[in-house]
Copies of this chain bind each other. A is one copy, B any other.
């Protein structure tokens, strides 16, 4: 570690550690990293779950964005160590690792998610906030503690860190550590989510992947001998999406949350939302005029407190949805496809007939992901493809040599589901008067899919 001392005067006299279930220890070797972790903006990540509604399906998945963020930092630190040990630059054009880049890489890794809010995905959809913009703002706004710490390094350091996260930083090795198809972010969340959910799908071989990573002129490549380790990572990621991230029960809780926020917003716009703590807290977002400080006040606990207040309010729908969310009463669902999408109006009508406003109690939700793609300049979001380096130094793209990766490369996978109240499936304890409606509704469901009744 002598090289660090030379390059970075901010090195701590004695490294500090955080105990971590995934990486065993997180090693903190720079004062600036320690100070960043101690900022209030970063500590706030302790109060935001990494996986939002997923813990409603996998009760172990209660880990926070804080623990993921320090994990991404730690993987990045390991990559820097490895690069410095095995591939230190000798001259400026050799495409090898320049350890002067270490600090910007570590800070970007640590802060890449610092702008996330509670239940981000759904919240952003309803309120048009954007956690990536907030991350940039927290890093570059002079009012934050994070910015204050970063400026201790140099005046332009906050902008540099922000540009790594925005992928505009010139050194592609640093950018790809944090953002690529096989980056520290994805590697940490797969391992971490797998550990905390208790599923085994995300459990690829991190040590082996780190061993075969190497810098080159164009960014980061992988030694050909590690092809199967990289393949296994891609397959693990694919399986985690299929099994955990796209789980219908978690998505149904998101649907409820979305309806709940929509209902509150609709009431606000009709001036029917009670003027209480929830009102005051969310008003800036209903109005889409909020300060950074107001944004940073929102965490899982504050939002849940709002829902708890609403669970006692007078509006029947808001109250009911808040209770369904807090007390975990998921909706039921079935797959819908291009053929059966035409059935949705009929189904919504039946739901309305059974006494539920389909605007809030029925929804489609699609979850799709591109597990891997080779570089495609014509796509909307061209991906940095994964390159393997052969013995002679030439590069070869992953999917050309892996049967498994080829099978899922470039294919968007997932499903679209139609969500509806569990009450639509008559089980005998609903109102008898609606039994014919329920029976009619069930004719459209078979083997977890919508069908045209015979």
Contact = CB atoms under 8 A, between A and B. Distances in A.
Interface of A: 1-3, 14-15, 17-22, 24-25, 38-40, 43-44, 46-47, 55, 58-60, 62-64, 66-67, 70, 85-86, 88, 195-201, 203-205, 207, 211, 224, 228, 231-232, 235, 238-239, 242-243, 276-277, 297, 299-302, 304-305, 308, 323, 326-329, 390-392, 394, 403-404, 406-408, 411, 413, 446-448
A62 B62 contact: yes
Given A66-B59, A301-B305, A446-B392, A228 B201 contact: yes
A70 B63 contact: no
A413 B404 CA distance: 12
A21 B198 contact: yes
A59 B46 contact: yes
Given A242-B228, A392-B446, A447-B391, A67 B63 contact: no
Contacts of A19: 58-60, 197-199
A110 to B, nearest CB: 13
Contacts of A1: 85
Given A59-B20, A85-B1, A304 B235 contact: no
A353 to B, nearest CB: 25
A356 B210 CA distance: 40
B204 A200 contact: yes
Contact of A308 (B22, B201, B302): B302
A88 to B, nearest CB: 8
Given A21-B196, A60-B67, A308-B302, A40 B404 contact: no
A352 to B, nearest CB: 26
Contacts of A411: 403
Contacts of A40: 323, 326-327
18 contacts: A2-B2, A2-B88, A15-B86, A19-B58, A19-B197, A19-B199, A21-B198, A25-B211, A38-B327, A43-B328, A59-B66, A200-B232, A203-B203, A232-B239, A276-B277, A297-B308, A403-B408, A404-B407
A212 to B, nearest CB: 11
Given A19-B58, A211-B17, A199 B195 contact: no
A195 B301 contact: no
Contacts of A200: 203-205, 232
A106 to B, nearest CB: 17
A43 B327 contact: yes
Given A224-B448, A391-B446, A404-B407, 12 more contacts: A20-B60, A21-B197, A22-B198, A24-B198, A24-B207, A43-B327, A46-B328, A62-B67, A200-B204, A300-B301, A301-B305, A302-B305
Contacts of A59: 18-20, 46, 64, 66-67, 70
A70 B390 CA distance: 29
